[in-house]
Amino acid sequence: MALLDILIYPDPGLREVAEPVERVDDEVRSLVEDMAETMYDAPGVGLAATQVGVNKRVFIIDIADEDEPSNLQVFINPEILLREGTQSWKEGCLSFPEISEEIKRAKRVRVRALDLGGNEFELEAEGLLAVAVQHENDHLDGVLMVDKVSPLKRRLIGRKLAKRATS
């Protein structure tokens, strides 16, 4: 396992649209292991392959509280089938260090994906898990949380990250 470099906004790699995984093989499983190690080290609750410069439709999520055992969930070639309701959630992102913004998303989602064994599954999610699924799936489409805020907030976030990069 290895720690991977997380791309930081405005890295153009974050705008890449990920390609479907052709086969769930040892290379994909190794990528997931490295992504998990990277996410836990950061620390974060989700990470998309595009955030570590890998153009594959893979993301991972673990929303377990610190006092709970790890519950790593792997989504390969995810597809959101249903979005219902709305909710606002203060979201952060490993590609936007020290930034969090209130983002509106669907309250409930149903997603279909492959697991590490290459088996198809569907999952219905609400609350934080629904937010995380939508956030990470957006990454695979080159959509970032700054695309969900006002132009003014987008500029402020850009300035804050530029200032952070030079200090």
* Domain span at 52: 12-166
Q: How far apart are CA 155 and CA 167, in angstroms?
A: 18
Phi, psi torsion values for 63, nearest 5 degrees: -100, 15
Amino acid occupying residue 38:
T
Q: How far apart are CA 110 and CA 39, in angstroms?
A: 24
Let me know if residue 150 belongs to a domain: yes
Let me know if residue 68 belongs to a domain: yes
Taking Cα atoms as reference points, which of 71, 69, 59, 52 lies closest to residue 2?
52
Strands annotated E in 87-131: 87-93, 96-105, 108-114, 120-126
Active-site positions read 136
pLDDT in tens, the chain (167 residues): 799 999 999 899 999 999 999 999 999 999 999 999 999 999 999 999 999 999 999 999 999 988 899 999 999 999 999 999 999 999 999 999 989 999 999 999 999 999 999 999 999 999 999 999 999 999 999 999 999 999 999 898 888 888 877 77
Structure tokens at 16: 């890449």
Number of folded domains in the chain?
Answer: 1
User: Does the model's pTM come out above 0.85?
Assistant: yes
CATH of the domain at 122: 3.90.45.10
